[in-house]
């Protein structure tokens, strides 16, 4: 059965949001370009897609799109300058992002919501299941999530979302899933979804996080999806329609993630991501950890 299912090869990365939580930094720069240590957040996300075997990447961009495209393109002037200096290690860093994946771009004229951004991918994706990775959500590469989701989609068909248990008081910040257990410990059957519920009415504390493997039936559903919460076309609402009617595009399953994840669109989480990843780096970590230890003990 799994052999007959098409292998997923395309990743879609919506990166057209306004990033208002990070103003003024995001006035003229996409939030996905903010550096996490010394790489823009979006590069970690593209690397994650490639590690999961998805090297055809479509980025949904909007205003201020240029830096995103430039980052994954060649920079001949810079490369030539580094070559002349004999600086091979920095040259490799510059070339890394342009050699990573086959990049495509489409522009979402108006940021009308995540569901609308995903719909912009329809002509490129065609009639195959595909992955969606939110450009401001970082999953630690040591805690593979997307490859697990791809495997679960091949097993069950339909769509697969990523879920994380959160403090019930925080569930109103996320899409929330009603779930039933399956025979596999980290996999649940999704029976319903609601975007940013009132915590008192939330069906669970399972929050939807920014990784999806979607059946292409989602496109037809999105075309019919009216603007929902915040006046935006919500991906969660379209997924709710799929979960409620498995005849449309197969079942919806959730992979419960217990690893490290950072929402780099949130200032606090962004800072935590930088501190944690910097501490763990072989080149920067030893000095940075020593400084951090003395800063915390002496100044806080
Ligand atoms: P967010 O909910 O984080 O919204 O979008 P935002 O506009 O980017 O940021 P804030 O809340 O104003 O600070 C989740 C993901 O969906 C993309 C964003 O780029 C982000 O990756 N998105 C959102 C779009 O691509 N288009 C949209 O119309 C909305």
Statement to judge: residues 42 and 148 lie in one domain: yes
Phi, psi at 43, each rounded to 5°: -70, -35
Is ligand 1 within 6 A of the CB of residue 30? Answer: no
Is ligand 1 within 6 A of the CB of residue 227? Answer: no
Helix axes 76-85, 88-99, angle to 10 degrees: 160
Report which ligand 1 atom has the smallest distance to the Cα of 135. Answer: 21
Is ligand 1 within 6 A of the CB of residue 36? Answer: no
Statement to judge: residues 187 and 275 lie in one domain: no
Q: Residue 1: in which H helix or E strand, if any? A: none
Residue in 12, 17, 23 to alter for ligand 1 test, most ligand atoms within 8 A of Cβ: 17
Statement to judge: residues 172 and 275 lie in one domain: no
Residue nearest atom 9 of ligand 1, based on CA coordinates: 19
Q: According to the model, what pLDDT value does residue 265 have?
A: 87
Number of structural domains found in the chain? 2
Report which ligand 1 atom has the smallest distance to the Cα of 31. Answer: 8
Q: According to the model, what pLDDT value does residue 2 have?
A: 54
Q: According to the model, what pLDDT value does residue 199 have?
A: 94
Statement to judge: residues 150 and 286 lie in one domain: no
Statement to judge: residues 114 and 157 lie in one domain: yes
pLDDT 10s digits, 45-62: 999 999 999 999 999 998
Is ligand 1 within 6 A of the CB of residue 10? Answer: no
Is ligand 1 within 6 A of the CB of residue 116? Answer: yes
**Chain position carrying tokens 């990523």:** 162
Is ligand 1 within 6 A of the CB of residue 134? Answer: yes
Residues 100-118 have a mean pLDDT of 95
92 C-alpha to ligand 1 centroid (Å): 31
Helix axes 41-51, 146-156, angle to 10 degrees: 40
Statement to judge: residues 272 and 219 lie in one domain: no
pLDDT 10s digits, 150-169: 999 999 999 999 999 999 99
Q: According to the model, what pLDDT value does residue 1 have?
A: 52
Statement to judge: residues 146 and 173 lie in one domain: yes
- Please check the confidence at residue 274 and state whether its pLDDT lies above 60: yes
Statement to judge: residues 173 and 279 lie in one domain: no
The span from the CA of 198 to the CA of 243, in Å, is 20
- Please check the confidence at residue 87 and state whether its pLDDT lies above 60: yes
- Please check the confidence at residue 3 and state whether its pLDDT lies above 60: no
Q: According to the model, what pLDDT value does residue 65 have?
A: 80
Count other Cβ atoms within 10 Å, centred on residue 242.
Answer: 24
The span from the CA of 212 to the CA of 165, in Å, is 16
Report which ligand 1 atom has the smallest distance to the Cα of 110. Answer: 28
Statement to judge: residues 45 and 126 lie in one domain: yes
Statement to judge: residues 111 and 11 lie in one domain: yes
Is ligand 1 within 6 A of the CB of residue 229? Answer: no
pLDDT 10s digits, 22-36: 999 999 999 999 999
Statement to judge: residues 222 and 294 lie in one domain: no
Is ligand 1 within 6 A of the CB of residue 16? Answer: yes
pLDDT 10s digits, 164-215: 999 999 999 999 999 999 999 999 999 999 999 999 999 999 999 999 999 9
42 C-alpha to ligand 1 centroid (Å): 13
Residue 300: domain span: 266-300
- Mean pLDDT score of the chain: 94
Report which ligand 1 atom has the smallest distance to the Cα of 13. Answer: 21
- Please check the confidence at residue 111 and state whether its pLDDT lies above 80: yes
Is ligand 1 within 6 A of the CB of residue 15? Answer: yes
Statement to judge: residues 98 and 202 lie in one domain: yes
Report the CATH number that the domain containing residue 240 is assigned in CATH. 3.90.550.10
Identify the three-state secondary structure at position 243. helix
Identify whether 24 is preceded by a cis peptide bond (ω within 30 of 0). yes
Select from 116, 126, 236, 117 the least CA-distant residue to 174: 236
Is ligand 1 within 6 A of the CB of residue 272? Answer: no
Residue nearest atom 10 of ligand 1, based on CA coordinates: 19
């Amino acid at each position: 059965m799994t052999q007959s299912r098409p292998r997923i090869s395309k990743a879609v990365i919506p990166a057209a949001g306004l990033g208002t939580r990070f103003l003024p930094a995001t006035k003229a720069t996409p939030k996905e370009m903010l550096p996490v240590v010394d790489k823009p957040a979006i590069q970690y996300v593209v690397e994650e897609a490639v590690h999961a075997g998805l090297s055809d990447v479509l980025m949904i961009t909007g205003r201020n799109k240029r830096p995103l495209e430039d980052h994954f393109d060649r920079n001949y002037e810079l490369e030539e300058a580094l070559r002349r200096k004999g600086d091979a290690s920095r040259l490799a860093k510059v070339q890394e992002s342009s050699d990573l994946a086959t990049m495509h771009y489409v522009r979402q004229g108006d940021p009308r919501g995540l569901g609308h951004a995903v719909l912009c991918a329809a002509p490129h994706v065609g009639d195959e299941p595909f992955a969606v990775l939110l450009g401001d959500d970082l999953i630690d590469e040591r805690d593979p999530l997307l490859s697990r989701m791809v495997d679960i989609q091949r097993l069950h068909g339909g769509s697969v979302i990523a879920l994380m248990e959160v403090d019930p008081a925080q569930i109103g910040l996320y899409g929330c899933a009603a779930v039933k257990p399956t025979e596999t410990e980290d996999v649940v059957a999704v029976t319903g979804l609601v975007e940013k519920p009132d915590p008192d009415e939330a069906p669970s504390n399972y929050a939807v996080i920014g990784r999806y493997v979607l059946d292409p039936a989602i496109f037809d559903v999105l075309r019919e999806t009216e603007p929902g919460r915040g006046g935006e076309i919500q991906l969660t609402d379209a997924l709710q329609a799929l979960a409620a009617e498995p005849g449309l595009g197969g079942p919806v399953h959730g992979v419960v993630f217990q690893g490290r994840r950072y929402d780099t669109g949130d200032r606090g989480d962004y800072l935590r991501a930088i501190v944690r990843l910097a501490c763990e780096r072989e080149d920067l970590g030893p000095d940075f950890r020593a400084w951090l230890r003395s800063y915390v003990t002496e100044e806080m």
